[in-house]
Amino acid sequence: MQVCQSPSPASVERNSAHLYWLDWLRFLAALMVVAAHARGGNWLEWGRLAEASQTKLVAVFFALTRAGTESVLVFFVLSGFLVGGKMIERLIDGTFDLRTYLIDRVSRIYTPLAPALCWSALVAF
């Protein structure tokens, strides 16, 4: 299903109006997920901290990293919107190519996944 057409002026206009703040929001959501995982594996729970360690700065850190589940949800919703939105845009413009789309998706997923799986297997071994 390959259609070779030049993009419509509407599509060029939409591409120039990229919402970069969505990329940053997705990045912050991913960073929050990493922080939540790091906190759970490396720090004590709030109630087990020494009273001298229960400062306002530590409380802010614990409050920010508590939202791991919500951050995962935000990350996946934004990712679906950004990836799915681009696909819908190309379908409407008649420039969607299934082969190119699948190559793009597989390469984006497996480029970080393959080394992560190898590293995990090595660590587990």
Would residue 105 count as lying in a domain? Answer: yes
* Closest C-alpha among 70, 83, 58 to residue 33: 70
Based on the domain organization, do 108 and 62 belong to the same domain?
A: no
The percent of residues in the chain predicted with pLDDT above 70, rounded, is 87
Query: What sign has the CA pseudo-torsion 101, 105, 23, 78?
Result: positive
Would residue 124 count as lying in a domain? Answer: yes
Based on the domain organization, do 14 and 54 belong to the same domain?
A: yes
Mean per-residue pLDDT for 102-122? 92
Least confident of 11-25, 33-47, 70-84: 11-25
Based on the domain organization, do 86 and 104 belong to the same domain?
A: no
- Residue-range definition of the domain harbouring residue 121: 97-125
pLDDT at 80: 87
Split into its structural domains, the chain has a count of 2
Would residue 1 count as lying in a domain? Answer: no
Would residue 4 count as lying in a domain? Answer: no
pLDDT at 62: 86
Would residue 116 count as lying in a domain? Answer: yes
Based on the domain organization, do 62 and 84 belong to the same domain?
A: yes
What are 41-77's pLDDT values in tens digits?
A: 777 888 888 888 889 998 888 888 888 889 999 999 9
Is the Cβ–Cβ distance between 73 and 37 less than 8 Å?
A: no
Based on the domain organization, do 51 and 24 belong to the same domain?
A: yes
**pLDDT above 90: residue 119:** yes
Is the Cβ–Cβ distance between 44 and 97 less than 8 Å?
A: no
pLDDT at 81: 87
